[in-house]
Structure 1
Amino acid sequence: MTDISMNADQLVKLDRECMWHHIIQHKIFDAVEPTIMVEGKGCMVKDVHGREYLDGLSGGVWCINVGYGEDRVSDAIHRQLKKLPYYAGSAGNPPSILMAKKLTELMPYLQRVFISNSGSEANEKAFKISRQYNRLKGKDKYKIIYRERDYHGTTFAAMSATGQPERIMGYEPLLPGFYGIPPVYCYRCSLGKTYPGCDIACARALEKLILAEGPDTVASVILEPITAGGGIIVPVDEYFNVIQEICKKYDVLLIMDEVVNGFGRTGKMFGHQHWDVKPDMLTTAKGIASSYMPLSVTMATNDIFKVFLNDPGDTLAYFRDISTYGGCAAACAGALENIKIIEDSKLCENSEKMGSYLMEGLKEFESLPFVGQVRGKGLFVGIELVEDKKTKAPVSEGLAGKVVAAVKEKGVLIGKMNRSISGYNNVLTMAPPLIIKKDEIDRIVTAVKYALEKCRI
């Protein structure tokens, strides 16, 4: 096999000529080479020139939970590809059935699993289910409530439910029927309150919005357990209790978006399990198969599912939805093995333990004049950078980018908020594979320290 690094110049040339990369202004490639990754093992990745990096982002978008080069996952996928790679999701196959069973064992309060191929798509399904569910019950409850700073995807409904204005800019008009509530963001409370004397006003804003729009029109609310791309924001402990009480009071379905939070990222199998809350629906992707294959699921209670059991001849009385790659048996086989690895290797526990160690190391930087807050849970950590600690004026996105570049100089990859909230893309992000070890955490902390010192000289 030809060593791909020998063809680096050709690959760079072809990349510039043919590729349209995600969330990249391609004008920069006039001056710099596009990044091309060719190999990964454990927590390490190698680029086309043979340079190795400790991946503090689990594949760039927080998804390679069990690390690179995990033979158990790739072998499970390979075996299934040879036996039966695919059959439409209108029929079952053994891996999809067994994966669905496993998920319901992990969350016994959610008993039905609908398979698709991306987080955006999983959220689209949840929105459609919540609207059709209510209409089958004779109610015209169709409005969807989301939280500012949360991200739910790139398709139009998912984008309409996303509280990140720069991700939406240029694609308007968005879909009607989507309404936002304030973020649960004590560091920058948009309501001017101070915890704990705030009565959790950001959560109680949900009730105010439901009453303003009319309880008979609101179908569901979708929330990330921990806000991800909007700044790694962890809610206060009382938050979800208030949210759940309001949802029950007004018969509003609670959807948890666990696309990023799920499968050990936060130190528990699912992010919402840090709090006493049981959603009516849940969406997840990324870590479900550690992105060795594209896969997502939308889970719902049996109470929701049973409403769709009607006269087979009634066109409107069943969930008329399909996802082509929801029938990929190989992806489900990979997910089953991936979940088994997370359990066998106690990766949730490692995420909690190594996450605490990472937080301990990074918390020391809060003494620096330009570090406003270090926050997170498990191996899901953010550093908010500010120009002034008293005013909390954010640093520019450009400066945050320079910090990320300086970390890369030390052979470590981290991320930052990327064109999400105008003027506030100032949070560095870290989410390494759940297999990470103490010495690798030390390397991340050392690289971040170097970058913070370099960029503030």
Structure 2
Amino acid sequence: MIQSAREWLEKDRRYVWHAMSGYPSGASTLVIEQGDGAWITDIEGNRYLDGMSGLWCVNVGYGREELARAAYEQLVKMPFYPLTRGHLPAIELGEKLNEWLAGEYAFFYSNSGSEANEIAFKVARQFHQQNGEPERWKFVSRYRAYHGQTMGALAATGQAQRKYRYEPLAPGFLHVPPPDSYRRPDELDPEAYGRECARDIERLIQWELPETVAAVILEPIITGGGILIPPDNYLPAVKEICERYGVLLIVDEVICGFGRIGTRFGHQSYGIEPDIVTMAKGITSAYSPLSATAVSQRIYEAFAGSGEYERLRHVNTFGGHPASCAVAIRNMQIMEDEELPERSAELGERLLKDLSELGEHPQVGDVRGKGLLVGIELVSEKQSKRPASPQTVAAFVSGCQKRGLIVGKNGDTAAGYNNVVTLAPPLSLTEGDLEFIGETLKRSLEDLPESAEESE
């Protein structure tokens, strides 16, 4: 068995270029063979609780035979047809998504969150063109936010380290500081800080001229950039600003959606209705690739013209694949039957309470979260909030893995601020799983040095 594992590892290094790695690839220290519930097993038989749901996406957990069965039954019945025409799973899924969004949206399907955002940008620009405002082509995003790896989505991303050596990217993407409640100025209470962060967006719109701005794009919570949770009044204030200036609001729900932060979609926690919603990952719990760009009826109807360029000229071979749509429908039924969004809210609150004692450690600056989305910000010194060294963060992540817990970190985002350890476990995790996460984090933290000098 050991020899077999070594052979697989060697082939892995030879044939697979891993995400976020170079040559020779030393990134893959694990080759995963199977999963069950919140747990994964590698080719050597080691089990780990997957505290990141793969890549923020296996929301209902591993080993759901009913999802495999839904894909199988659809593949047998009708394995593929492009959405240049229609098919029943895409229609049924659109109806289900509208039910979850509690709105009236039309859906353009694709394969990934990056693609969903690319479509949102094209739709927003064309919408303004067809409304007689062709000068509206700019997009406002936030620093530290992540919106994808394609050239437009990466331009929207506010993480300079992800962009370096790939620029110039798509033009027209502008950025403002993010709402970072941990680093909120002392003189501002949370509500005042929320208003001020929203005002950053308004000021940028004014400086750029409102008639040139097409849309604002944001995640309800900045996820990959460090789990930055805004004050409760921030999103409503941004929505009001967008409406005042005729700017569309695109909400990126690729991670925050499908129960992750305790509601069906993250923006519902803040009581707003976006013009465009992008989604992926948890839509199928990653059992099959699928994403969707939801556009309001007002926007959709702007594409009703018969002129040569008035339709959306975008096509995607595998977008809305019948099997993926069938999986998504069944996945959402599971979430409803097992009340997983509500469970996320409940277990997330308990996990945060359990982890509150981590804040007593001199290397922990902040522990924050909403639902089953948690960030632990490591610092080298509490008073100054100076970010911990990469070595300290790596030691914490490694310590968790040695004890059987996979956690993430916000690597290669903003220079000097890659110091947040992240958690996004399956929403279906058990009571025992929750206890294991808490105990493992505490024990792994005990191994960290207690002074900045020792950690560097």
Give the shorter-chain TM-score range: over 0.9
Q: Letter of the aligned partner of 1:153 in structure 2?
A: G
Q: 2: distance between equivalents of 1:48 and 1:196?
A: 50
Q: 1:395 aligns with which of 371, 388, 399?
A: 388
**By how many angstroms is 1:221 displaced?**
0.4
Residue of structure 2 in register with 1:330 after alignment: 323
Q: 1:94 aligns with which of 76, 88, 98?
A: 88
Q: 2:264 aligns with which of 262, 269, 288?
A: 269
**By how many angstroms is 1:25 displaced?**
4.0
Q: 1:45 aligns with which of 40, 43, 60?
A: 40
**By how many angstroms is 1:422 displaced?**
0.8
Q: After superposition, what is the alpha-carbon deviation per residue over 1:118-167, rounded to whole angstroms, capped at 9, x for unaligned?
A: 00000000000000000011112111111111100000000000011111
Residue of structure 1 in register with 2:14 after alignment: 17
SS of match in other structure, 2:35: strand
Q: After superposition, what is the alpha-carbon deviation per residue over 1:349-395, rounded to whole angstroms, capped at 9, x for unaligned?
A: 11111111111111111111111111111000000011111000000
Q: 2:116 aligns with which of 119, 122, 138?
A: 122
- Asked if the contact 1:265/1:378 (under 8 Å) is kept, the reply is yes
**By how many angstroms is 1:195 displaced?**
3.2
Q: 1: distance between equivalents of 2:194 and 2:316?
A: 42
Q: Letter of the aligned partner of 2:21 in structure 1?
A: I
Stretch deviating more after TM superposition (260-269 or 197-206): 197-206
Q: After superposition, what is the alpha-carbon deviation per residue over 1:221-274, rounded to whole angstroms, capped at 9, x for unaligned?
A: 000001100111111011012101100000100000000001010011110010
SS of match in other structure, 1:113: strand
Q: 1:441 aligns with which of 420, 434, 441?
A: 434
| Alignment map for 1:239-250 (pairs within 5 Å) | 239-250=234-245
Residue of structure 2 in register with 1:8 after alignment: 5
Q: Letter of the aligned partner of 2:402 in structure 1?
A: E
Stretch deviating more after TM superposition (119-128 or 182-191): 182-191
Q: 2:367 aligns with which of 356, 371, 374?
A: 374
1:455 aligns with 2:448: yes
- Asked if the contact 2:194/2:231 (under 8 Å) is kept, the reply is no
Q: 1:237 aligns with which of 191, 213, 232?
A: 232
Residue of structure 1 in register with 2:165 after alignment: 170
Q: 2: distance between equivalents of 1:199 and 1:16?
A: 47
Q: Letter of the aligned partner of 1:86 in structure 2?
A: F
**By how many angstroms is 1:80 displaced?**
0.5
**By how many angstroms is 1:315 displaced?**
2.1
Q: 1: distance between equivalents of 2:137 and 2:191?
A: 34
Q: CA RMSD in A?
A: 1.6
**By how many angstroms is 1:15 displaced?**
0.9
Q: After superposition, what is the alpha-carbon deviation per residue over 1:155-203, rounded to whole angstroms, capped at 9, x for unaligned?
A: 0000000011111111111221110111011212489855344462111
Q: Letter of the aligned partner of 2:6 in structure 1?
A: D
Q: 1:85 aligns with which of 79, 82, 100?
A: 79
Q: 2:128 aligns with which of 105, 128, 134?
A: 134
- CA 1:198–1:358: 2 relative to 1, 3 Å: closer
Q: After superposition, what is the alpha-carbon deviation per residue over 1:57-101, rounded to whole angstroms, capped at 9, x for unaligned?
A: 101x11000000101111001110111121111111111110001
**By how many angstroms is 1:7 displaced?**
2.9
TM-score, normalisation: structure 1: 0.95
- CA 1:5–1:131: 2 relative to 1, 3 Å: farther
Q: Letter of the aligned partner of 1:176 in structure 2?
A: P
- Asked if the contact 1:110/1:299 (under 8 Å) is kept, the reply is no
- Asked if the contact 1:186/1:194 (under 8 Å) is kept, the reply is no
**By how many angstroms is 1:24 displaced?**
2.2
Q: 1: distance between equivalents of 2:334 and 2:169?
A: 40
- Asked if the contact 1:5/1:48 (under 8 Å) is kept, the reply is no
- Asked if the contact 1:87/1:327 (under 8 Å) is kept, the reply is no
**Structure 1 stretches lacking a partner, 5+ long:** none
Q: Letter of the aligned partner of 2:52 in structure 1?
A: L
Q: 2: distance between equivalents of 1:110 and 1:210?
A: 28
1:228 aligns with 2:238: no
- Asked if the contact 2:407/2:423 (under 8 Å) is kept, the reply is yes
SS of match in other structure, 2:61: coil
Identity score, percent? 42
| Alignment map for 1:251-270 (pairs within 5 Å) | 251-270=246-265
Residue of structure 1 in register with 2:152 after alignment: 157
Q: 1:406 aligns with which of 377, 382, 399?
A: 399
- Asked if the contact 1:182/1:190 (under 8 Å) is kept, the reply is no
- Asked if the contact 1:114/1:298 (under 8 Å) is kept, the reply is yes
Q: 1: distance between equivalents of 2:338 and 2:2?
A: 33
**Structure 2 stretches lacking a partner, 5+ long:** 451-456
1:104 aligns with 2:98: yes
- CA 1:26–1:440: 2 relative to 1, 3 Å: farther
SS of match in other structure, 2:319: helix
Q: 2: distance between equivalents of 1:359 and 1:229?
A: 19
- CA 1:190–1:17: 2 relative to 1, 3 Å: farther
- Asked if the contact 2:108/2:294 (under 8 Å) is kept, the reply is yes
SS of match in other structure, 2:387: coil
Q: 2: distance between equivalents of 1:168 and 1:304?
A: 31
- Asked if the contact 2:111/2:291 (under 8 Å) is kept, the reply is yes
Stretch deviating more after TM superposition (37-46 or 8-17): 8-17
- Asked if the contact 1:57/1:432 (under 8 Å) is kept, the reply is yes
- Asked if the contact 1:99/1:336 (under 8 Å) is kept, the reply is yes
Residue of structure 1 in register with 2:454 after alignment: none
- CA 1:225–1:176: 2 relative to 1, 3 Å: same
Residue of structure 1 in register with 2:423 after alignment: 430
1:418 aligns with 2:408: no
SS of match in other structure, 2:421: strand
Q: Letter of the aligned partner of 2:168 in structure 1?
A: P
Q: Letter of the aligned partner of 1:436 in structure 2?
A: L
Q: 2: distance between equivalents of 1:107 and 1:33?
A: 38
- CA 1:412–1:280: 2 relative to 1, 3 Å: same
Q: 2: distance between equivalents of 1:290 and 1:5?
A: 32
- Asked if the contact 1:308/1:317 (under 8 Å) is kept, the reply is yes
SS of match in other structure, 1:455: coil
**By how many angstroms is 1:401 displaced?**
1.2
- CA 1:364–1:352: 2 relative to 1, 3 Å: same
